[in-house]
Homo-oligomer: A and B are copies of this chain.
């Protein structure tokens, strides 16, 4: 084999800036609105939950934002992450396409999430925060924040959806290994949790409830802040280190993508790989096609409405304009838990409206089938979320085969599936169903969107 299997960067080649796509957009994204006044929110509205530097990044229009040295010091534990050429997958597909994938599963938490957990913990520690609260479903984000908090001496309190807490104790064990405290939500530690439990003592929990508990504690105490793992601008910003590295690595391979594929739930891993390339195109460089792949059972980009909506089910958050299935929409319980969110990151939604990205949706069995083929060729067993990107990349490679084109495909393999083997087990046992949502429920959720007049 004459061409390499992987392209590695030295620590000294790690990016020193995150890339902020807002600087290059032809049209500014719509403002975030206060749910009471329907006026744009200011820094003061967000200050109870986030440290000032993160609020600054949330609204920044600077193109490059420096990665602080203490963050880079931690990044070096796993970054730069490898870029792989999927030689064996190409051969198995018989495609003339070149397939590259960036692998984020090398992080301690096994996914791209620590890319933002580490700076969030750093800026909080710098601002004097003593404790971070957050919510987690399956546990990927909770694990990442536990790891990051430990490194900067912050106490981390994770509200884990009770059904996951009971059924998936291994992720909780990882969080405890990193020194975090993990509570089943609804819990008795918050007023909201106690209220929910009073109504229904065996409540199984939901991300919406867990967010409300985490936000309630953060808002109450000066020394406590809240951390979110996706959706927000500053979270997407931190993930751009993925695409910035991939640019360097593709240059080593003397290649440039014709198409970039990423899985979308909240939007952060997709933004991480895609935004630097989109920005390069907006500044006059080559414009690859950008394909967001979402689960058919929670299709915010392909079936949702672009409208102002709440980020949580309890309606505690500001209103953001995004592709949404409605904040009361409950996605069916498929296995890519990281993609089970009713909305899409406002920035990703804005890019979709500007025609800068495409979107497509696949069912979970289609995605697992793709993931198993990938594992048998490339060795790595992908997370169920990452299987969506694998499926999207395989479809592009098969299109290239049909069209006889040797395009270059880049996708983000955002995490490994080591904590998701129960889903693979079900897949092999033929027990994995293609859960679908209730069309009436979707219609009702969309009909219930808050009424917000277009700003002048």
- Give me the interface of A with B, judged by CB distance under 8 Å: 1, 4-6, 8, 10-11, 73, 76-78, 84, 88, 106-108, 110, 147, 150-151, 169-174, 176-179, 372, 375-376, 378-381, 418-419, 421-422, 424-425, 428
Contact = CB atoms under 8 A, between A and B. Distances in A.
A170 B421 CA distance: 5
Contacts of A422: 169-170, 173
A425 B379 contact: no
Given A5-B76, A77-B378, 4 more contacts: A8-B8, A147-B379, A173-B424, A177-B381
A106 B84 CA distance: 14
Contact of A428 (B77, B84, B171, B173): B173
A144 to B, nearest CB: 10
A147 B381 CA distance: 11
Nearest to A424: B173
A424 B176 contact: yes
A170, A419, A422 pick with most chain B CB within 10 angstroms: A170
B424 A379 contact: no
Contacts of A73: 1, 5
Nearest to A78: B379
Given A4-B76, A11-B4, A381-B108, A150 B421 contact: no
A381 B425 CA distance: 24
Contacts of A376: 150, 177-179
Contacts of A108: 375, 378-381
A298 B173 CA distance: 26
A372 B178 CA distance: 8
Contacts of A419: 418
A380 B379 CA distance: 20
Contacts of A151: 88
Given A150-B376, A173-B422, A379-B147, A76 B6 contact: yes
A178 B421 CA distance: 12
A273 B150 CA distance: 30
Contacts of A150: 376
Contacts of A110: 418
